[in-house]
Amino acid sequence: MSKHKEELEHRLKLRNIKLSDYDDIREIMVSIYRDQGGAWTKQELKNQLKAFPEGQICIEDNGKVVAAALSLIVDYSKFGDNHTYDQITGYGKFDTHDDEGDTLYGTDVFVHKDYRGMRLGRRLYDARKELCENLNLRSIIAGGRIPGYSKFYDQMTPRKYIDLVKSKEIFDPVLSFQLANEFHVRKVITKYLPEDTDSRAYATLLEWINIYYEKDEKLIGNKKSIVRLGLVQWKMRRFNSVDDLMQQVEFFVDTVSGYKSDFCLLPEFFNAPLLAEFNDMDASEAIRNLADYTDEIITRMSDLALSYNVNIIAGSMPEYDGKKLRNVSYLCRRDGTTDKQYKLHITPDEASYWGLQGGNGIRVFDTDAGKIGILICYDVEFPELGRILAEQEMDILFVPFWTDTKNAFLRVNICAKARAIENECYVAITGSVGNLPRVENMDIQFSQSAIYSPSDFSFPHDATVAQASENAETTIVADVDLDLLTKQRKAGSVRNLEQRRLDLYSIHWKKKK
């Protein structure tokens, strides 16, 4: 390789600024800010490095600094939105830096003119975001110039100009770049940099929100990021008693708990084998007799949740109050508390054969491993329900189901995956397999349990986290990352929740009269 070619090759390196970089930094600042005060003095840079060395970042090329970003940490409540550049930087001394502050304040970003078009500014912005996240700061705030406004100041207000830049009708060399880097304009401020004639002394106050910010860090008991799900693909078999049934339940709870799962999901009507005891009865009478076991099963299920340290979604069971027969799923938390979710939509067969009726409410449940929702089988085929839960910040949707044929299973399966994608959440589904020859209306089963995710770069390419074999008694144990959901909702390739046209449509829950 010729010496000339070696000289032309770039060797970019992102690192923290050193005082010895001053001459390179001064060269860039003088060329860019000649009419706005020029460069920092060497003593000012020394003060900045002493106050917050981690916040002063540069990119070097073959040993020469060609771009830099400066910042400090502030308690933003002490300054508020109506500050000036000199006030928040301590007139360049950075004595306003506060290690206990909540905000990373960006003071400068500059790139050598010979390196424009290489997206070095984006690299510096990404480094700042990483710093903000690692320091657990609430946000990045910066005052932004709007140099393009000088061409339009006699035609429109700064706010109108900013709106047109947002909609890409006008290009501003500074603001357009900042908006493209996920900053939003908090407000327009005046006299931020009085010497900035191109911006007519106006500036934008910009903010980037750290979606991972935790206000109160705790040594133990923090919200989980990685959550482990255990799904039981249950085989229908004859049980002679509730004891026999619960012995099999405990086997699977023990199994998924042994892998330190946070949740154990059972299928819809997992207790159906007990119907064999009532084969001499009419179907509607038999299901009501089965409901007599529900309280005992839930009491024992709650004991299992406590003793095995796992949150159990107890599939679903019939519940009869003497007037109405419903299908209910119980959440048995490992802290000893319980909640329940009724099935809202009853299939024509369930209504005509058993006389089941739908519930009238839906909600998100708080757990020690995230916010969850439960939709029983048919309910997942109604997209409005998933969206209502998503609007309540649901992380994981659990769907216990029972299907007899493959086409019935595919309805549940395909709709479950759609709910994961459109609501940017995880969806876990499980059903039962095998057959119950002497139990009417529950005689055959088809299942392929699975965990689904959104469909984007951070997730599996087919939006499938894990999937069981068809029609085999088994378990799925898999991890899901809740932080990835947060990232998806704010920075995904598409953002189904954030980008809804709420000016055109919405979903409203009607209160029951």
- Residues labelled as active-site residues: 268, 343, 377
List the one residue out of 313, 307, 316 whose CA is nearest residue 344. 316
DSSP string for 120-151:
HHHHHHHHHHHHHHHTT-SEEEEEE--GGGGG
Instruction: Convert 188-235 into a string of H (helix), E (strand) and C (coil).
Output: EEECCCCCCCCCCCEEEEEEEECCCCCCCCCCCCCCCCEEEEEEEEEE
Residue 53, Cα to own-chain centre: how many angstroms? Answer: 32
Say which residue the tokens 């069981």 belong to: 468
Backbone torsions φ then ψ of 160, nearest 5 degrees? -65, -40
**Residue 453 has which token pair?**
């995710």
Q: Are 242 and 439 in contact (CB under 8 A)?
A: no
- What is the Cα 28 distance to its own chain's centre? 40
- d(Cα 99, Cα 143) in Å, to the nearest integer? 21
Q: Which residues pair with 70 in a beta bridge?
A: 108
The DSSP 8-state label assigned to residue 412 in this structure reads H
CA distance 489 to 504: 20
Round to whole Å and give the CA distance between 343 and 358: 6
Q: How many Cα atoms are found within 13 Å in the side-chain-facing hemisphere of 61?
A: 15
Closest-CA residue to 186 (of 213, 163, 165, 205) = 205
On whether the CB atoms of residues 276 and 238 are closer than 8 A, the answer is yes
Residue written as tokens 């304040």? Answer: 105
Name the token pair of 52.
């917050």
Taking the CA atoms of 367, 369, 372 and 374 in sequence, report the sign of the dihedral they define. Answer: negative
Residues 6+ apart with CB under 8 A from 214: 136, 222, 223
Q: Cβ neighbours of residue 23 under 8 Å, at least 6 residues apart? A: none
